Amino acid sequence: MHKLYFKYGTMASSKSAQALMCKFNYEQKGMKVLLVKPSLDTRDDAEERMVRSRIGLTAKCYTIAPDESFIDLFEKVNAESQVETIIVDEAQFCTAEQVDQLKQLTKNANVLCYGLLLDFTCHLFEGSKRLVELADSLQEIKSVCRCGRKASVNARFVNGKCVDHGPTILIGGDESYESMCYWCWKSELKK
């Protein structure tokens, strides 16, 4: 029986690296993997379509827009060769409907989703919320705060100041975000 997995963590917790290592492991055993990321992740050139980890691992991927269907994409790719595993990076950017589609696809393949659980205000992303509701397996990928405690917050910085307001989605990396524990985040907000 195939399952829907959600592996979540804060920024810089190795989610993309683990997704790419998982892809490698399946492919090394001769299995076809469909690697996808939501088109809302605009860090790469639109034509390049890559999943990239901070440690330098990369792989070409498909992208999916919020109004597109994972079922349609699966059927298209599966018609070319039998897909046995679907891996979704940046799964927090999926819509609730797309997560429902991923759950339906577990009839045909294992689905492994990697992404953030919480936005910079400590609220669930839409895709993450639905994954928590539907996933057969939830696994936290842990990372550490500057103080040594477990990081649980994706703190956003604007002009060097920690903020807790603004658009939910603001694509960025180490220049805009830092993984922190709740207490360091609250302390930074007071500065």
Q: What order of strands is seen across the sheet that includes strand 110-115?
A: 62-64, 32-38, 83-88, 110-115, 4-8, 137-140
Q: Which two tokens stand for residue 54?
A: 């901070």
Span 51-82, pLDDT tens digits: 989 898 999 999 999 999 999 999 999 999 99
- Distance between CA atoms of 159 and 161, rounded to whole angstroms? 6
* % of the chain surpassing 90 pLDDT: 84
What was the pLDDT predicted at 132?
98
What was the pLDDT predicted at 107?
97
Span 9-55, pLDDT tens digits: 999 999 999 999 999 999 999 999 999 999 987 666 556 788 989 89
Lowest mean pLDDT among 39-48, 77-86, 112-121, 128-137: 39-48
- How many secondary structure helices (H) and strands (E) does the chain include? 5, 11
- Structural domains present in the chain: 4-142 (3.40.50.300)
Catalytic hit among 68, 75, 90, 97? 90
Beta-bridge partner residues of 35: 87
What was the pLDDT predicted at 174?
67
What was the pLDDT predicted at 44?
61
Residue that has been written with the tokens 């440690």 in this structure: 55
Span 147-160, pLDDT tens digits: 999 999 999 999 99
What was the pLDDT predicted at 169?
83
What was the pLDDT predicted at 103?
98
If you ran DSSP here, which 8-state letter would residue 118 be given? B
Q: Which one-letter amino acid corresponds to residue 183?
A: W
Question: Could you tell me if 6 and 60 are in contact, meaning their C-beta atoms sit under 8 angstroms apart?
Answer: no
- Distance between CA atoms of 80 and 94, rounded to whole angstroms? 24
Write a three-state SS string for 123-178. CECHHHHHHHHHCCEEEECCCECCCCCECCEEEEEECCEEECCCCCCCCCCCCCEE
Residue 90 annotated in active site? yes
Q: What is the mean pLDDT of residues 122-138?
A: 98
- Terminal Cα-to-Cα distance of the chain (whole angstroms): 51
Q: Which two tokens stand for residue 65?
A: 């827009």
Q: What is the mean pLDDT of residues 168-183?
A: 85
Kindly indicate the confidence band of residue 136, based on its pLDDT and cuts at 50, 70 and 90.
very high
What was the pLDDT predicted at 46?
55
- The better pLDDT of the pair 48, 89 is held by 89
Residue 23's SS3 state is: helix
